[in-house]
Amino acid sequence: MIASNLTKATRFSRSRRRRGFTLLELFLTLSMAVVLMTLVNAAFRFYAVDMDSSDMDMRRTMLAAAVMQMIEDDLRASLHPEPLDTSALETLLASTAASATGGGNTGDAGDPGAAEAAGTDDPALEEDVTTTVSGVAVLQTPGLIGDQYQLQVDTSRLPRLEEYAVLMDVDPGNLADLPSDLKTVTYYVQAADSIGIEDPLAKLDATTSTTAGGLVRRVLDRSATTFASTSGNLAALGQTGELLAPEVTGIEFSYWDGVTWQIEWNSDELGELPLAVKIQMVMVDPLVAESEQEPRVFQHVVKLTMAKIIEEEEEDDLSGVGL
């Protein structure tokens, strides 16, 4: 009886020892749990970084699309009126003058009208259609002028109702704009820490500069822009505008003339608008150092509906003329 009781106690103690874990099993379990948590944390971090990068790329693409659409809208609203053809009126006046003088020789040297007409053909008396004041070009006729890094175009739109409500700018450093249907729109990239357009968002952070770099869009009445350029008020003109995107660090324009891409265009000299304008824009993340990221380049081509092919004047063939 005693032996059977001892056998049952031994079996009970062995069964109780088998229900627990050994120290080696516990150590292996904890090690596997640590490895598993490390892998899960790495997967979450990789997913978060990848999603953040994708989100930044998507935001940058959407911003580039919005900026390109704004530039396209301004270019499509460009205006370049054709010069008035007065040849029929000149012919009528010449015939009327000839009949009034009895059909005399209007080309007499003593006739002041003939001398005046002859003097207008002198190329030395022709004025330059483009006036340059302190490096700023002023178009005599509404049109487009620009180089590789800056674009200025005259647009025609009806003024909005809210433009009539505010006729005076509260900032004395900015030029006062007037509601009109003829505006001069300028695009350029402002360098960082330069005297120019202040970033309104940078004023919230006292540690950052208020003159951040980025793409600037200036919209002013054409008369106000011309007056500021010709009167030498370039400081106020350079501080007037809106900082669209600090993410844009560079922009280039090219102008299609029907044959090749040009890096400069002047509608006064060429007589027409370019058939198309190609825009190349470089964007970065302003919160990340440039050495730690790769800039993205966006490109867009805008076709101008008001443009015409430039017709070159044909030279007279003098090969068959005897000397």
Q: What residues does each domain of the chain span?
A: 66-81+127-303
Q: In sequence order, what E strands does the chain have? A: 130-133, 136-139, 144-146, 150-156, 182-190, 214-221, 242-245, 248-256, 261-262, 265-266, 276-283, 296-303
Written as one letter, the residue type at 221 is D
User: What CA–CA distance (Å, rounded) separates 155 from 310?
Assistant: 21
Task: Please give the DSSP secondary-structure letter assigned to residue 197.
Answer: P
Q: In this predicted model, which residue has the larger pLDDT, 59 or 71?
A: 71
Report, as an integer, the average pLDDT of 303-319: 68
User: What CA–CA distance (Å, rounded) separates 120 from 112?
Assistant: 13
Q: Calculate what percentage of the chain has a pLDDT beyond 90.
A: 20
Question: Regarding beta strands 265-266 and 261-262, do their DSSP bridges make them parallel or antiparallel, or are they unpaired?
Answer: unpaired
pTM assigned to the model = 0.66
Per-residue pLDDT at 106 exceeds 50: no
Q: What is the pLDDT of residues 122-160, one digit of tens each?
A: 443 344 445 544 345 678 888 999 999 999 999 988 777
**Residue 79: φ, ψ to 5°:** -130, 135
Report, as an integer, the average pLDDT of 259-280: 92
User: What CA–CA distance (Å, rounded) separates 67 from 77?
Assistant: 16
Q: In this predicted model, which residue has the larger pLDDT, 108 or 60?
A: 60
Task: Please give the DSSP secondary-structure letter assigned to residue 78.
Answer: B
